[in-house]
Structure 1
């Protein structure tokens, strides 16, 4: 992670005021990015990155408290302000599937015998 990227992300991370000394947030974020870029399992993260359990715990905490959502919104706002964001979205309904039970039919009843509500 470059210094400019870190300066953008750093204020968006939660700050721990108490407790024991934690692994550096920049290092942890770099390691989380490495894990997802490579597609590795948490347990396969190289030992030089520290304990895989620590990385996984920090990832889960940041995901649960909205840290990654804040990062995404801030990056989108920055790109939008710079005119670098294209907001056109298209959903192709041929690939959007509903589960068969989502149609609302009663289970086991033939269609001719379903009573109107």
Structure 2
């Protein structure tokens, strides 16, 4: 299954979002997704299986727990596909970064004037 087919499902996207901050157990993932999407534990397990089989997630066993993590290598084709579109947001993000830095500098200088 192509990465975009896998990512087309909102539950699987959410699972990957949760894993973006680091490894989580299947129980932790299931609890969040069941709460947010109202689906059964077997349905969450099925989504996790698709992530594993597509290579977007890895799983390792630690005692009785199954710990999931994102496999960033499998996301490279998605990143490569997005590359031509970065020109739409990279300059805007750079401009925002410049404005934030100017604001910080201005506040710092105003604070020095008060001292």
Q: Scaled by the length of structure 2, what TM-score is found?
A: 0.31
| Rg (Cα) greater in structure | 1
Of structures 1 and 2, the one scoring higher in RCO (CA 8 A, sep 6+) is: 2
The answer to which structure has the higher strand fraction is 2
The answer to which structure has the higher helix fraction is 2
